[in-house]
Structure 1
């Protein structure tokens, strides 16, 4: 690895013949020698390249070797470059001492000892290559550390997501078992009561009016079960991209009116007065079954959290299409809850109400989005909520089923 690292060497001398001679002396494999005939030219090269060693002639006009060394030591980019001085002056000039004071690592006297020069240059080149190799290893280690930190962060995030998914699954199963048990218990109790009465021969309990009431109760319980199952199936369809949209042309006002009629028993049981204001007709190309789901989900939500106060439904024609508004005057939604009510399995919690699978608004938003529409909510705690659905009059047909 070390042998593959290129080392750049700088030689500075005002005499061309000295430069040529020294160049020939120190040139070698994976070495690149740069020549400068003055201190100024040397500075230009020093700012452009990273050198393993600088060999400076002491006695140069304009800027001598010592002055160049001082400038190198005062510059961040060049202050760590090893400097070797070369001089033809006699030892009595004490240049060596001055050179070491200027930051030199060695001092060579002319005429140069070929073997000594080559040996010393080789040492500095190898030291440079070792430093470069260490630097590359440090950079690689730092890069590896950062990659490991990112990976660890991703693993922690994945672990958090997994734990959240497990909690959501457990919560969902708990909610499902509770929500399914409610209508099932009603059906079981009704069945046991009827068997008991039959066993006692109490046929007075099965008059036409009473049978009709029994049938209506059974129908409500069965519809609750069917709706819970359909919600779970719709979530599965949404996840796999198989929620089918089959548009047909129909009147939105008529659909909302029909929903209110069909849900009259639930409205009465909730103790809410529901009013409808609808422009007629508001006709568009939508999936009638899916839009009915939207209206039912929003209405059910309003009844559930409406605190037995009036609920207002409005169907409006807009320049862009149609708008459905469902407004209750119940418990409202807090700001933190507003940011998550359209997520799966999220339910508004209060001391009075916590019902449902927490899928209704999630499914509603997905259905609206599949019609290229939007859904908005305005709410304040204690002042109720207003859900507003915008639908374009023409929606693109989507069938992934």
Structure 2
């Protein structure tokens, strides 16, 4: 901004218009006192000052302005129509003026001078800004250097206190600092401690220097006064600042005792593994013998039971048709024989669950359709309704999963409310994880199947019991069963690497939840 100072408005107006035509911002003052007040509040690049003014003349104003720090870069041009002698011109320059023009002044000359002084003012301001920025940069760098020196000193104190060998390395690979433990393995800092030739430590470290990434490995080092090598863990971490590598910090940690312990443990694990393999083979042999024994015993038990049932039926028909009390006792014997037969059959099924069978891709819709044919009569008697959603094709052992569905459907039909037709709904969805509560996922690796009924339900505090063999929540008087069905289902789900659980409330039905892998990874599949 330009400041024009003259006590005569008729002189200010034409000068102001001329400068504004050349796109200068112009301010005016009609006395020296007014000019000083404005200078205190505003920065001016050029002040055009009339010499002859009432009160403070131009020289006095210039002398006063020279004492202001904010006007140190401001150029003062004197204008005078009267004081044209050399002594006045000299006084103008000594008062702080940059130029002295006499009236009448040439407007073009005045504009050129103003432009020159204005540009000089801007250059001086830019120079001062650059100097201030440079001073700040110097201060920042100085503080950064001081902080870096402090941190380096702190780092060295920390490294000196470590029980391991600790060191720092410059970006070019030169070792900068080592703690006292270093000298147990090396006489100087020109190279790393002596390592086993087979470890190729120097070659690998040179590659790490080039890559600039963390370097960790086991090495064998030999102390200066030792004969044997000891295992150490070397870890060197790159330190970056503003994206540039400034140094490496590393440690050698003695892991020889841990290494020896690990080798001893590996030997013990190998020994134990061999023992377990031997035990597993023996167990497998015993299992096979037990399965054969179970089959023989079950077969031998079922045969006399069939004869007992047949003889009881014959006695009842031929000899007790007129004796209701004796027939009732005989009915109880027949029912006990039937329960014994079912128990033997379920035990035989349970004992055969450990037999190895191949997995194969199976359409669960087809499997269920075939299974439901076995329940036709019971479904008709109970007036039950079944709703089955679309089920996927997954890797299973068909006979085993058929047993699972058979037991769950049998329970849903058996444990129904009196005079309430059973309603059973089977749904399926893919899920992300092997979890009962896993979120659905169209590309999940597992399938969650829910069998939901409207039966009598159960209290969930007994959930942990229902999958244990021979555990029952109801008496045989009210509901038939052996207490083995859900245990068979649980064992079959374990064999499929799956999960089974239930959700229920008394008199509000039950939901049995199955989670099965879509694909049995690594499983034995048929060719």
Q: TM-score, length-normalised on structure 2?
A: 0.32
Mark the structure with the bigger radius of gyration. 2
Q: Which has the higher contact order (CA 8 A, sep 6+)?
A: 1
